A = this chain, B = another copy of it.
Amino acid sequence: MQNELPENAKMVFKGELFEVWQWEQKMYDGSTHIFERLKRTDTVQIIATIGEKIILQTEEQPDRPKAFLSLPGGRCDGGEVPLVSAKRELLEEAGYISDNWMLWQKVCPYRKIIWDVHTFIARDCVYKQPPHVDAGERITAHHVSFDEFLKLSQESRFRDKSLAALLLPARFDEIFRGELHKTFFGK
């Protein structure tokens, strides 16, 4: 799916998170319409393994009545390279480091927003220091097994539906499950 703005697009509003862009689009009958798309900062998330476990977070945010499940992650602020953001977020939110990083997936979750979610795998993570989260987050970390992690694919509290869809086949297909385990853990 195309994930770029046309050359004649102009930013018409810049908010806290989102920019609104518009352009004159020629239609199939030769008429023109104003088309609109949004832009937001790219984000990263990390599948961080410790032995045979994966770090999973229960997260609360002040504008949400219910906790949700998430991976460590956040925004690529200030044009930061995604891998740098991923290392920073894993250390800030979870307190872990790794020297075995791989970009696994880059997904644009919603075609009307120019926005990529980079999912990294960080193998054999090592505890470095206590987590330090900002005033807009409350995070509790769990270490879950591979099978528990796969159950996120059908867990309503897990907010990343694109990732959920990637995990789901592994619940049903032995070969795919083996391949995914190897991708996450290297064996």
A29: chain B residues at CB < 8 Å are 135
With an 8 A cutoff between CB atoms, is A159 at the interface?
A: yes
With an 8 A cutoff between CB atoms, is A20 at the interface?
A: yes
Stretch in contact with the other chain, from A79-87, A105-113, A179-187: A105-113
With an 8 A cutoff between CB atoms, is A164 at the interface?
A: yes
With A18-B38, A36-B16, A36-B18 as given contacts, are A62 and B1 in contact (CB-CB < 8 Å)? no
* Assembly stoichiometry (copies): 2
With an 8 A cutoff between CB atoms, is A128 at the interface?
A: no
Stretch in contact with the other chain, from A63-71, A91-99, A118-126: A63-71
Within 8 A of B (CB), among A7-36: 12-13, 15-18, 20, 22, 25-29, 31, 33-36
With an 8 A cutoff between CB atoms, is A136 at the interface?
A: yes
With an 8 A cutoff between CB atoms, is A100 at the interface?
A: no
Which of the four size classes fits the interface of chain A? Answer: 35 or more
With an 8 A cutoff between CB atoms, is A169 at the interface?
A: yes
Q: How far is the CB of A19 from chain B (nearest CB, A)?
A: 10
Q: How far is the CB of A131 from chain B (nearest CB, A)?
A: 14
A62 and B110 within 8 A (CB) = no
How far, in whole Å, are A110 and B113 apart by their CA atoms in the complex? 11
How far, in whole Å, are A16 and B8 apart by their CA atoms in the complex? 16
Name A66's contact: one of B2, B64, B159 (CB within 8 Å): B2
Given A2-B64, A35-B63, A171-B172: 17 more A-B contacts, CB < 8 Å: A1-B64, A1-B68, A2-B63, A2-B65, A15-B22, A15-B36, A16-B22, A16-B34, A18-B20, A28-B62, A28-B135, A28-B136, A33-B135, A33-B136, A153-B165, A161-B162, A168-B169
Q: 10 A-B residue contacts at CB 8 Å? A: A1-B68, A2-B64, A6-B63, A12-B15, A16-B22, A17-B36, A18-B38, A28-B135, A165-B165, A168-B169
